[in-house]
A and B are shown apart, each in its own frame.
Chain A
Amino acid sequence: MRLWNALVAVTLIGVADTAYLAWTHLFGTEVACFGGGGCEAVQASRFGTLAGLPLGYLGLGFYATVLALASLGRGHPAARSVTLGALFPLTLSAAVFSAYLTGVQRFVLADFCSWCLVSAAVAATLFGLTLALVWRLPSR
């Protein structure tokens, strides 16, 4: 149960992080960047959107989906196997894509967006928690 609680709690951090980015894009307000000032430049770059959609919105959609699945698994033990079947590929692909985007910030743009780095850390943690939960499933 503790792992499921942690999954929900960490997902909420991702929701808050990407909701802030989506909100700044929606209302055209400046992103308050901590630990450096690359947030605006990274988001305005060609890597800041995917098929025309700003990554903040995409991230928010991802975390909202994970939150729904994690809440379902936390509250309904009978549904955990199915829930983890969806969570595992979702969190793994998000962790890989976030690692790619972190590489883009480091090696292509030479600029960092702190909110994006938080999201990358959250995505990696979610994958780790999901893997631990899958590992705990009965072997038969």
Chain B
Amino acid sequence: MNPRRSILLSGTILAVVLAGVLIYASSQGGRAATDTGAAPVQGAALGNPAAPVLIEEFADFQCPFCGRFSRETKPQIVETYVQPGKARFVFKHLAFIGPESLWAAQAAECAADQGAFWPYHDKLFASQAGENRGAFAKDRLKAFARELQLDAARFDRCLDGDETLARVRADVEEAQKRGIRSTPAFYINGKAAVQGAQPFEQFKAAIDPLVAGGR
């Protein structure tokens, strides 16, 4: 076979395989995973209630930077501080991007009622796709619940009946009272500490002195 034909033929086959692998990895990638380990879970709160450090995250499930924090930094925070009982991590809703933010927040609380806030939280962040474009339409939110093997009838009733709306609104009002204007925003032991999807080192600098000194 001449070199030109050989390059075109074998190169095309190799390129199709390579591009296929890249596209598959991209479509599967970036899955958030909250390894709760042995840490106690209470709804959207994770970790020892008596821990010396309380980390509160105000976030919107449609916000890409909240997704980035969830994928890149939170696993390290959970592993370093929450699982060993040094900190408690609480997720609070600041659903402000649009109707799908509110529905996603309500759905996460419906999942919390079935003890599955964190798997549902991870599923939402792994499924982000633009803002208010159907990624978190109610039908999709219900499908996520089925995928996670929650009680589907109970979940649907909860979401359709706005059973958790008051809980979400309470979080949003709390965020407004604290003057939070963007997400993700982090309060540590009641004080504004970190703004945005910052690297782990920024959280470490804020948390370590409190772990050493107690609340």
Enumerate chain A interface residues (CB-CB to B < 8 A).
28, 40-41, 44-52, 81, 84-85, 88-90, 92-93, 96-97, 100-101, 104, 108-111, 134-135, 137-140
Contacts and interface: CB of A to CB of B under 8 A. Distances in A.
Nearest to A134: B7
Contact of B128 (A46, A84, A135, A138): A46
B37 interface: no
27 contacts: A40-B65, A44-B67, A44-B197, A45-B64, A45-B128, A46-B29, A46-B31, A46-B128, A48-B30, A49-B71, A50-B22, A50-B25, A81-B7, A85-B10, A85-B11, A88-B15, A90-B18, A92-B11, A93-B15, A96-B23, A97-B22, A100-B22, A104-B26, A110-B130, A110-B131, A134-B7, A138-B4
Given A45-B67, A111-B130, A88 B7 contact: yes
A137 B3 contact: yes
A49 B30 contact: yes
A93 B7 CA distance: 14
Interface residues of B, number: 37
Given A101-B26, A138-B3, A44 B15 contact: no
Contacts of B166: none
Contacts, number: 105
A31 B5 CA distance: 43
Contact of A92 (B2, B12, B197, B199): B12
Interface in B156-202: 197-199
B2 A139 contact: yes
B143 interface: no
Interface in B23-56: 23, 25-26, 29-31
Nearest to A80: B3
- Can you list the 9 inter-chain pairs with the closest CB atoms, starting with the nearest? A46-B30, A88-B11, A92-B15, A93-B18, A89-B14, A44-B64, A96-B19, A89-B15, A93-B19
A79 B85 CA distance: 60
A137 B172 CA distance: 65
Contacts of A92: 11-12, 15, 19
